[in-house]
Amino acid sequence: MSTTTLSARDRLLAAANELFYEEGVRTVGIDRVIERAGVAKASLYNTFGSKEELVRAYLAGRLATRQERMARGLARYDTPRERLLGVYNVLAEVASESGFRGCAFHNASAESASGSSVEQVCDNSRAWTRSLFTDLAREAGAPDPAGLATQLVLLYDGAITGAQMDRNAGTAATAKAIAAILLDAAIQQVRV
């Protein structure tokens, strides 16, 4: 679909997605988003009301995309163990894409004010990630799925940061190997 057939809202979100992810939420001003989107300033304020709400909508869109990508990625695996470890394979795919700049939620959270709607959508993303790992750990037979999920989320965060800072998507494979050790150790507790 060409940009001329997209609504002003969709063009603003597409421009925000590119600019905010590439350069940061605070660095990019409204005028740059409007220029990239090819819309009038009034369109932005009529649609979103403020830059903060545009940022919130941008992040909500990234969360929906992330959830869809993860669901598609994990559908490739047959066993609970494979699905849990498959999260790191999906991360490796994302980290190997050109233009990978780390986690949009980590980046935006570092720039957001406490109590803002941006912080809230970042918190929603974090809760979803924790819930995903908790559910996968439970399905894989971990006796303390929430405890294992806490470890796996920290490992996931480290893999994202390592992939970005080291410019090395291979950090996800390393994280997956460590996740397998953590999962096996947790399940071994049940067998003992």
Residues 82 and 148 placed together within one structural domain of the fold: yes
DSSP output for 103-122: -HHHHHHHHSPTT-HHHHHH
Q: Do 112 and 187 reside in the same domain of the chain?
A: yes
Whether 145 and 173 share a structural domain: yes
Task: Convert the pLDDT of each residue in 31-78 to its tens digit.
Answer: 999 999 999 999 999 999 999 999 999 999 999 999 999 999 999 999
Rg of the chain on CA atoms, in Å: 19
Residue 71 to residue 101: CA distance in whole angstroms:
22
The whole-number pLDDT of residue 121 equals 95
Q: What is the pLDDT of residue 112?
A: 87
Residues 111 and 162 in one domain: yes
CATH code, 100: 1.10.357.10
Residues 19 and 108 in one domain: no
Q: How far apart are CA 18 and CA 37, in angstroms?
A: 10
Which CATH number fits the domain that encloses residue 33?
Answer: 1.10.10.60
**Separation in Å, CA 50 to CA 30, 55, 69, 85, 129:** 9, 9, 29, 40, 28
Range of the domain at 28: 1-49
